[in-house]
Amino acid sequence: MIAGARQPREDGPSPVPPSHQGCAIDSVRVQLPAQRGELRDRHEDGHHLHHLVWRLGPGVRVCSSAVLGGGIGPRAWILNAQVPGGYPRLDPDRHLAEIAASEGLTGPGAGLMTAADVAAYTTSHDGGVTATVTTGLGVRGWAAAPDVAAGTPHRPGTVNIVLTLPAALSDAALINAVATATEAKVQALLDAGLDCSGTPTDAVCVAAPEPGPDGGEPFAGPRSTWGARIARAVHTAVRAGARLS
């Protein structure tokens, strides 16, 4: 590890690290073959910000609600970028593409944004599943809430969940995995003593190998083999992040 880099908070808190001045990098190992994510930093308009990058390479597809590259399809990378509070830009997809280009990322990818401190990410592993979460709960509430005026601005998503697993999933199972991760997130927030289901703009990415002729695992609900692992990994990582935010 490069001197001065932050140790990931895995299954619980870690000591407060030194500054990331000098573009220090910390690797977040994922369970897909030959994959890794990197914690990077950058300076924009006087702000010192961080972002996480997963360089997935070929043979991986992602199901996500990402601002850039959302949906289901092959993705070569995932980017989770920190932006300042009161984010002023109206083109987040273009902004994410600019950050991706600065990292040398090519091909289709998925990009997330958050006002949370990305360097304070938390991770958890369960049976081959890795959950990496950035948690910021300054603007939180319940999913079913009274109507608000159309066009009311929200900050960029603050609870972003990126999941990697070594098992191929069917289309239905990928969508089921997103639902399972969301259920586990809410459970973790409640277990952390918070009266909310999340923030208005949370996002989830699930990365798994492309399925072969068998179509992939058909289920990812919380009582299926892979869904249970997803739920436990997300729950642990979100709960740790919620207690630290």
Q: Is the pLDDT of residue 6 over 70?
A: no
pLDDT tens for each residue of 183-215: 999 999 999 999 988 888 899 999 999 999 999
Identity (one letter) of the amino acid at 73?
Answer: G
More confident residue, 148 or 220: 220
Q: State both tokens at 179.
A: 């639902």
Encode burial over 160-171: b for 16+ CB neighbours within 10 A, e otherwise: bbbbbbbbbbbe
- Strand segments, DSSP code E, in the chain are 9-10, 26-29, 36-44, 47-55, 60-64, 71-74, 77-82, 109-114, 122-126, 129-135, 159-164, 203-209
Nearest to 109 by CA among 180, 30, 176, 162: 162
pLDDT tens for each residue of 27-47: 343 444 334 568 999 999 889
The structure's pTM equals: 0.83
pLDDT at 199: 87
> The tokens 């998925």 sit on which residue?
110
The helix/strand/coil state of 39 is strand
Q: State both tokens at 173.
A: 């199972």
According to DSSP, the β-strands at 47-55 and 77-82 are: antiparallel
- Bridge partner list, 84: none
* CA distance linking residue 34 with residue 188, whole number of Å: 30
3-state secondary structure 159-211: EEEEEECCCCECHHHHHHHHHHHHHHHHHHHHHCCCCCCECCCCEEEEEEECC
Phi, psi of 231 (to 5 degrees): -60, -45
* CA distance linking residue 216 with residue 48, whole number of Å: 41
- Given phi > 0 = left and psi -120 to 50 = alpha, else beta, which region is 139? beta
**Residue 152 pLDDT level (bands cut at 50, 70, 90):** low
